[in-house]
Structure 1
Amino acid sequence: MSEQKVVVHRTLSGRVVSDKMDKTVTVLVERRVKHPLYNKVIVRSKRYHADVQAGVAAEGDLVEIEECRPISKTKSWRVTRVIEKAQS
């Protein structure tokens, strides 16, 4: 019997806030969490550097990124698809 290993990568969706670098975009991912004491929903955000082919994602686009092997010191994510183009 042959066993197949299924590799599941984490995926996140966020907004591109910078595309000034070559082959790299900065993606802002926001998540909503409940405050442990006050029970108020607050927004936490984090920026990720993601690898992208030139011209695929521009600033303002909503994209999906997935975790991958480290590409550089700060890049461990890859853009998989553009969910929504920015209004321009």
Structure 2
Amino acid sequence: MSEQTKTNKTLTGRVVSNAMDKTVTVVVERRVQHPVYGKFMSRSTKIHAHDEANSCDSGDLVRIEQCRPLSKTKSWRLLEILEKVR
């Protein structure tokens, strides 16, 4: 049996809320093309991510990775803070 490494899905987004304890809300934006007209549109998804140290502030740019479900709404974990807001 060969050794296989499992890579988890990672996304980059902006923190919009850090009001909860050890949880941040991250907005991930993506650009999709309209199926009929071809115009590119901006679509966003709100994701709850686990922040163990409560180190994120609103407006920070972060990288998150998918993990096992940690609660009813959390199945993502904070990997790193890419850009801090002053």
Q: Which residue of 2 aligns with 1:58?
A: 57
For 1:77 and 1:64, locate their aligned partners in 2 and report how far apart those are by CA, in whole Å. Answer: 10
Structure 2, unmatched stretches of 5+, are none
- For residue 3 of structure 1, what is the aligned residue in structure 2? 2
Task: Give TM-score scaled by structure 1 length.
Answer: 0.93
Equivalence for 1:47: 46
Runs of 4+ in structure 1 over 2 Å off: none
| Counterpart position of 1:78 | 77
Work out the percentage of aligned pairs sharing the same amino acid. 53
CA distance in 2, matches of 1:83, 1:54: 16
Relative to the length of structure 2, the TM-score reads: 0.95
- 2:31 and 2:42 map into 1 onto residues whose CA distance is 5
Look up the equivalent residue of 1:60 and give its one-letter code.
G
Give the C-alpha shift of residue 55 in structure 1.
Answer: 3.2
Partner residue, 1:35: 34
Aligned length: 86
Other-structure match for 1:14: 13
Q: Is contact 1:22–1:54 with CA below 8 Å preserved after alignment? A: no
| In 1, Cα distance between equivalents of 2:30 and 2:70 | 25
Q: Say what the alpha-carbon RMSD is for the aligned residues.
A: 0.9
Question: What CA distance in whole angstroms lies between the structure 2 residues aligned with 1:48 and 1:32?
Answer: 17
Is the partner of 1:49 in helix, strand or coil?
strand
Tell me the equivalent position of 1:69. Answer: 68
